[in-house]
Amino acid sequence: MTLFGALGFTAPWLLLGLLALPILWLILRAVPPAPIRRLFPGVVLLLGLKDDEQVSDRTPWWLLLLRMLAVAAVILGLAGPVLNPEPEAAGSGDGPLLVVMDASWASAADWRARIEATDALLVQASRADRTAALVRLTDPEPPVFQSADSLRSSLPGVVPDPWQPGPEEVARFIAALPEGGFDTFWLSDGLARDDREEMLAALEDRGAVTVFESPRSLYALQPATYADGNVVLNLRRLRPGPEAEVSIAAHGLDPAGNPAILARIPGRFESDAREATAELSLPAELRARITRFEIEGQRSAGAVALPDDSLRRREVALIAGSQDREGLELLSPLHYLTRALEPNVDLLDGALMDILPANPDVIVLADVATLSAAEEDAVLEWMENGGLLLRFAGPRLAASDVSRDSEDPLMPVRLRAGGRTVGGAMSWGEPKSLAPFASESPFFGLEIPEDVTVTAQVMAQPDPTLADRVIAQLDDGTPLVTRKRVGQGQVVLVHVTANAEWSSLPLSGLFVQMLERLAVSSTPAMPEVQDMEGTVWQPEMVLDAFGAPRDAGNLPGVAGEDLVTAPLGPDLRPGLYQGAERSLARNVVTADTALEPVVWPQNVPVQGMIRAQETPLAGWLLALAIALLLADVIASLALSGRLRSARAAATVLAALMLMPQTGRAQDTTDAMALAATSEVTLAHVLTGDDRIDDTAQAGLRGLSDTLFFRTSVEPADPMGVDLETDELAFFPFLYWPVTPDQPTPSAEAYAKLNTYLRSGGMILFDTRDADVARFGGSSPNGRKLQALAEPLDIPPLEPIPQDHVLTRTFYLLQDFPGRHAGRDVWVEAAPPDAELIEGMPFRNLNDNVTPVVIGGNDWATAWATDARGNPSFPVGRGFAGERQREIAYRFGVNLVMHVLTGNYKSDQVHVPALLDRLGQ
Amino acid sequence: MIPALALRQQAEEEAARLPALLARAEKLAGTVLLGEHGRRRAGQGDDFWQYRPLQPGDSRRSIDWRRSAKGDSDFVREREWQIAQSVLLWLDGAASMRFSSDKNLPTKAERARLLTLAAAILLIRGGERVGLTGWTLPPRRGQEQVLRLAEAFTTDDPDDYATPEARGMLPHARAIFVSDFLGNLDPVEAALTKAADRGVRGVMLQVLDPAEEAFPFEGRTIFESVGKSVAHETLKAGDLRSRYLDRLAERKARLDTLCRLTGWQYRCHHTNASAQSALLWIYRAMDGGHG
């Protein structure tokens, strides 16, 4: 490759072709454009005219220049120009090449850049015909030198691991290094580690070492902690720098169970600071749903913090039999419980039935004897679903008959009457102490203080099942804590009081530990090693190096002590581990993780990732040549006078491309909304049958005119409404002519219609068949009406009663004819308890507007007028027909009045009472 | 000898052209007839022209007694002039007329035929006798003559540029010359002079294509006449435009001057303009000479 500054050529000898350009210039110059032959009768007038310029039989210089440029572009393009070619000095040498990648979580953030850098290196190596090998330090394997091209093809499959190479891996790597010289490229993740010097020395023994390192700062997130009601997130970065702000997203499940970002917290690094703190205040419900915190834009496992149970504050409801506020605080049955639980649980206070819907994790009943039947059922159901009921004994429980003869469902054992007292003034025995916990007890391993004694307790009735249910006992073998599983939950009875009255247990630290073991209270973030011995934890979810959660699949379980102490590695991946009672998270970055930039010795060259990209220019130059040749075509056409039709075509093409998009749906919707809401507007449903729609439009126009002339309602022109697309809320009244073949509205349209009906709209269904079949029987229109109205939210109906408010909202009416004088018109039925009061002209009927009016009298036809106000259709014969039309109009007026004024006229029923009150 | 089938096909093609031209010409003529010349149609005006007072020399038989009885003076009932004019047509059928610069425009020949035949129809309906110059079709009247004229117009002249036929001109007749007048103007001048000598007056309609008026050509071009008898090559057609237009204007001016001298009327018509306006102009120009 030959270099000219930043430009290189792969085939520089082709550039000699540029020497031929002047010759081409001379040749092309001599060739004028070919003439065009035209028929032209006026040629006789041209005879004898001479051209002014004799030189114009040569190609014009600018056209020549255009062609020269095109040819030069072709020559340059074929010569293979490359902008910013990879400097070969970086990888000079011809021995084998070893690519070492740290491949830890810290390199995941700019993994793509690393792969591209490696790819560029391998391209160079391939050009130089060098063999290459690749080793990932997180999982070192003996390097196998192969051709650079085949290594390149496997590059996309190389991914980082979510841990850091430890001393063991480095030792394995050094041991596997082959003898013989090779050069090394080391893609470092930038984190300081103790074993780097050792590795560097081993590699420098073999040949030159070049280090590639990203200049970007690395951000890491420590596990969230809980302090003062806030979630505290500690952020760190590798290199101190200027002020920076990052955004932390709290991922979790939304109420519908879909993954969502529940909150975003800004974290701000001060200038030159390497640590920052962000605080997040969230309601407990929301906090419990958080599955992970993540620094946005950082694709790295170090930027992800998984919360475990430590963030989840358990909700504990405390209920005492008697809240003796008059007594001493220390004697309160809940005092010690409150003090023990307060630091790390959310306490709920209230009546049992009020608390249950909040679904607390634990309900503590301190000396509560009996529950009502309803309460018992509710508590049982809650327990079946996983609730923990913790009961404490006490004087009330001992005195009651609960669980005496048969086992109470809310008690783990039967109780003997009265309980017992030991070590008191009236007893012989000494106060009893606790026996060591059995190995199957949840309390196993807890140390029992010497001074814990029990002076009184309730006694369990011996039963075949008793032995299984005891989880703690006194040293004389009497049960102290018994437990019974109920469904997914359990009920636990502590046979002493929750205060210090019967025993000194609540005064000891053991009490708190026992509560923790029972999972009543939440535990500190990371348990001690000795607590974890012998337990096995199953991975539930693990993180990959990019911080993306992966299903753990069938990864093997992890021993508890390893989970707490062992460094992350292939056997212990970062993620969420599930134990018997709780879950634990192993995060990549903890407060102990060292995050220091590595310092390389002076003699090791360190390159940044960001470098000018090698850009082949051949394609661009050839494209330029084609563009120039196209321009030459147009110019030649123009020169020889043949461009006229071409120009027209180009103009048409440009006009087509510039044609405005039709995007005015919004405008029309707005215009329709404005038109419909500026005035009262009657509307009819578009059926798709033009004749019926026109009639409906004309009918509503006639009705609108009538309203305008006779009443204070002055409607605008009626509108047709498409149920699928138009908003219905603008219209007080919809006229819906039923045709057998109109399309049934979609589910969305029905939802809209139901909303419309519930919010006070009215639909007048008109089957237009004179109701021959008596409300929907067997006429096609009637059947269609049934089909149409089925999904609608329509109340029970009845024929308009004589005293319905529709008969008197404006005119006094008894009949409701349209073009037909059918009998029944149906409206919402009156409530069954409506009665005619003596002396009143009508009943006090339902209090709102009937949502539907159904009939078949073809009202629109009777109302229909043309633009001049003349009736469009005949109604009946002679004067009687005109009278029928008049009554039809009156019905329409009454209907609209009913829609607009509701039951106003019904209130006349109160007129006598009002007059009476006024003393008239 | 032409086979019978080919002969018949040609004949039908020719015949098919005739009704179309006729129909269009009739239609065009119809638009004019309803205008100011409606009174000249037979049956509407009868023979009556006007009443005028009796003058010395009038015979008493010519007195209209009914009109004279209404007043004290005598009136003579004048009748409409019954003597028909002869109108002679010359239509350029040369190859130069068969040119149109755009496929949406009619050729000059089509437009010229249409206008001439329409004018002929109008004149015949007005009672004039219409025929062609020369001896081929002497002036006659009647619907039959329209058909003969139409037939005569469908023949094409193989020459590139035509010369006007000035023979067979009836004295004091009227004439209509339609051509593009792009050929040699000397025969035109001779024909007009000869016509003027015989007291023949008329109109001269120059039909031009818009391209001939605008010369919208660029670049290296070889211009050829329609019959390919004349050609001219140029390297930059655009440079010739102004000189071409000068020559065209000069030619028009010469034709106009010639017409003024001989008492004719001259007008230039473009094929992209309305045929009706041109027909109206022809008819008015003829009528002006009539009254």
Say whether B223 and A46 touch across the interface (CB within 8 A). yes
Compute the distance between CA of residue A272 and CA of residue A219 in angstroms, rounded to an integer.
14
Tokens encoding A910: 């109160």
**pLDDT score of B46:** 47
Closest chain A CA to residue B222: A37
Tell me how far the alpha carbon of residue A700 is from its chain's centroid: 48
Say whether B225 and A41 touch across the interface (CB within 8 A). yes
Q: CA B244, B245, B247, B253: dihedral to nearest 10 degrees?
A: 170
- Mutation to test the B interface, candidates A31, A38, A44, most B Cβ within 10 Å: A44
Compute the distance between CA of residue A452 and CA of residue A448 in angstroms, rounded to an integer.
8
B-chain CB neighbours of A44 within 8 Å are: 161, 182-183, 225, 230
Could you write out the DSSP letters of every residue in A252-321? EE-TTS-EEEEEEEEEEEPTT-SEEEEEE---HHHHHTEEEEEETT--SGGGEE---GGG-PEEEEEEES
pTM: 0.41
Pairing, β A453-454 against β A432-433: antiparallel
Q: Tell me the pLDDT of chain A averaged across its residues.
A: 80
B-chain CB neighbours of A49 within 8 Å are: 232, 234, 240, 243-244
Extract the residue ranges of chain B whose pLDDT is less than 50.
1-2, 33-46, 288-291
Identify the DSSP state of A597: B
Nearest to B235 among A43, A44, A56 (CB): A56
Question: If DSSP codes are grouped into helix, strand and coil, which group holds residue A764?
Answer: strand
**pLDDT score of A611:** 54
- Mutation to test the B interface, candidates A36, A37, A43, A63, most B Cβ within 10 Å: A43
Between positions 199 and 218 of B, the ones with CB within 8 A of A are 209, 211-212, 215-218
CB B178 within 8 A of CB B207: yes
* Residue partners of A207: CB distance under 8 A and separation at least 6: A93, A95, A181, A182, A183, A184
CA distances from A607 to A104, A114, A219, A604, A613 (A): 19, 12, 21, 10, 14
**pLDDT score of B80:** 60
Question: If DSSP codes are grouped into helix, strand and coil, which group holds residue A852?
Answer: strand
Q: Which parts of A676-796 are beta strand (E)?
A: 683-685, 719-721, 733-737, 762-766
Say whether B238 and A641 touch across the interface (CB within 8 A). yes
Nearest to B230 among A33, A44, A639 (CB): A44
Tokens encoding A738: 């039923």
Say whether B248 and A42 touch across the interface (CB within 8 A). yes
Helix A618-639 with A643-657: angle, nearest 10 deg: 130
Strand partners, B78: B50
Nearest to A47 among B212, B232, B235 (CB): B232
**Which domains occur in chain B, in start order?**
21-37+83-290 (3.40.50), 46-79 (no CATH)
Tell me how far the alpha carbon of residue A182 is from its chain's centroid: 51
> Is the CATH number 3.40.50.180 carried by domain A667-911?
no
B-chain CB neighbours of A34 within 8 Å are: 220
**pLDDT score of B252:** 93
Say whether A46 and B240 touch across the interface (CB within 8 A). yes
Nearest Cα neighbor of A237 from A193, A303, A293 is A303
Compute the distance between CA of residue A96 and CA of residue A180 in angstroms, rounded to an integer.
9
A-chain CB neighbours of B247 within 8 Å are: 45
- Mutation to test the A interface, candidates B232, B233, B271, most A Cβ within 10 Å: B232
Phi-psi group of B172: left, alpha or beta (phi > 0 → left; psi -120 to 50 → alpha; rest → beta)? left
Nearest to A41 among B216, B226, B251 (CB): B226
B-chain CB neighbours of A43 within 8 Å are: 223-225, 230-232
Compute the distance between CA of residue A802 and CA of residue A813 in angstroms, rounded to an integer.
9
Nearest to B236 among A47, A56, A644 (CB): A56
Tokens encoding A365: 């009943």
Centre a 10 Å sphere on the Cβ of residue A575 and count the other Cβ atoms it contains.
26
**pLDDT score of A698:** 92
Centre a 10 Å sphere on the Cβ of residue A433 and count the other Cβ atoms it contains.
17
**pLDDT digit string, tens, across residues A48-103:** 787 766 545 567 788 888 888 888 888 888 887 877 765 544 455 677 888 888 88
Q: What radius of gyration, in Å, describes the C-alpha atoms of chain A?
A: 45
Cβ pairs bridging A and B (under 8 Å): 105
Q: Which parts of chain B are beta strand (E)?
A: 48-53, 75-79, 86-91, 129-132, 174-179, 201-208, 221-224, 231-234, 265-270
Alpha helices in A326-394, H assignment, sequence order: 335-341, 352-355, 373-384
**pLDDT score of A696:** 92
Whether B103 and chain A come into contact, CB under 8 Å, resolves to no
Whether B219 and chain A come into contact, CB under 8 Å, resolves to yes
Could you write out the DSSP letters of every residue in B114-156? HHHHHHHHHHHHTT-EEEESSSSS--B-SHHHHHHHHHHHTPP
CATH class of the domain defined by A315-517: alpha beta
Say whether A46 and B219 touch across the interface (CB within 8 A). no
CB B250 within 8 A of CB B244: no
Minimal CA separation from B242 to chain A, in Å: 11
Collect all residues from A whose CB is shorter than 8 A from any CB in B: 32-47, 49, 51-53, 56-57, 638-642, 644
Compute the distance between CA of residue B226 and CA of residue A40 in angstroms, rounded to an integer.
7
Say whether A36 and B222 touch across the interface (CB within 8 A). yes
- Considering the domain delimited by A219-307, tell me its CATH architecture: Sandwich (2.60)
User: What is the separation, in whole angstroms, between the first and last Cα of chain B?
Assistant: 53
- Considering the domain delimited by A88-217+596-611, tell me its CATH architecture: 3-Layer(aba) Sandwich (3.40)
Minimal CA separation from B232 to chain A, in Å: 6
Across chain A, which has 920 residues, the per-10-residue mean pLDDT values are: 67 82 78 77 82 62 85 86 62 75 85 85 83 86 86 86 85 83 84 83 84 82 79 84 86 80 86 85 77 85 80 78 58 80 79 82 83 84 86 83 81 81 69 84 84 86 86 87 86 87 86 79 59 79 85 83 80 82 79 79 71 72 90 80 62 55 58 83 88 91 90 89 86 88 83 83 84 60 80 82 83 86 80 68 67 87 86 84 90 90 74 78
Compute the distance between CA of residue A604 and CA of residue A600 in angstroms, rounded to an integer.
7
CB B232 within 8 A of CB A37: no
Compute the distance between CA of residue A846 and CA of residue A895 in angstroms, rounded to an integer.
16
**pLDDT score of A702:** 92
**pLDDT score of B209:** 92
The domain ranges of chain A are 1-31+57-85+614-648, 88-217+596-611, 219-307, 315-517, 539-585, 667-911
**pLDDT score of B1:** 46
Whether B41 and chain A come into contact, CB under 8 Å, resolves to no
B-chain CB neighbours of A644 within 8 Å are: 216
Say whether B247 and A45 touch across the interface (CB within 8 A). yes
Nearest Cα neighbor of A192 from A238, A229, A226, A150 is A238
Say whether B230 and A43 touch across the interface (CB within 8 A). yes
**A747: exposed, middle or buried (C-beta count within 10 Å: 0-12, 13-18, 19+)?**
exposed
Tell me how far the alpha carbon of residue A318 is from its chain's centroid: 36
CB B134 within 8 A of CB B168: yes
**pLDDT score of B67:** 86
Question: How would you label B273-289 residue by residue, b for 16+ Cβ within 10 Å and e otherwise?
Answer: eebeebbbbbbebbeee
Pairing, β A183-188 against β A97-101: parallel
Say whether A33 and B220 touch across the interface (CB within 8 A). yes
Nearest to A41 among B212, B221, B231 (CB): B212
Say whether B217 and A641 touch across the interface (CB within 8 A). yes
Say whether B96 and A41 touch across the interface (CB within 8 A). yes
Compute the distance between CA of residue A420 and CA of residue B256 in angstroms, rounded to an integer.
146
Question: How would you label A341-380 residue by residue, b for 16+ Cβ within 10 Å and e otherwise?
Answer: beebbbbbeeebeebbeeebbbbbbbbbbebeeebeebbb
Residue B86: φ, ψ to 5°: -105, 130
CB B93 within 8 A of CB B78: no
Minimal CA separation from A128 to chain B, in Å: 58
What is the H or E stretch that residue A516 is in? helix A509-517
Compute the distance between CA of residue B86 and CA of residue B124 in angstroms, rounded to an integer.
10
CB A420 within 8 A of CB A444: no
Handedness of CA A40, A44, A45, A50 (dihedral sign): positive
B-chain CB neighbours of A52 within 8 Å are: 236, 239
Say whether B220 and A644 touch across the interface (CB within 8 A). no
Contacts 24+ apart (CB under 8 A), A549-556: A549/A291, A549/A292, A549/A575
Kindly provide the ipTM of the predicted complex, given to two decimals.
0.73
Asked whether the domain spanning A315-517 has the same topology as the one spanning A88-217+596-611, the reply is yes
A-chain CB neighbours of B250 within 8 Å are: none
Nearest Cα neighbor of A305 from A316, A294, A296 is A294
CB A649 within 8 A of CB A43: no
**pLDDT score of A54:** 55
| Complete edge-to-edge strand list for the sheet that includes strand A362-366 | A345-348, A314-320, A362-366, A388-392, A489-494, A479-486, A470-473
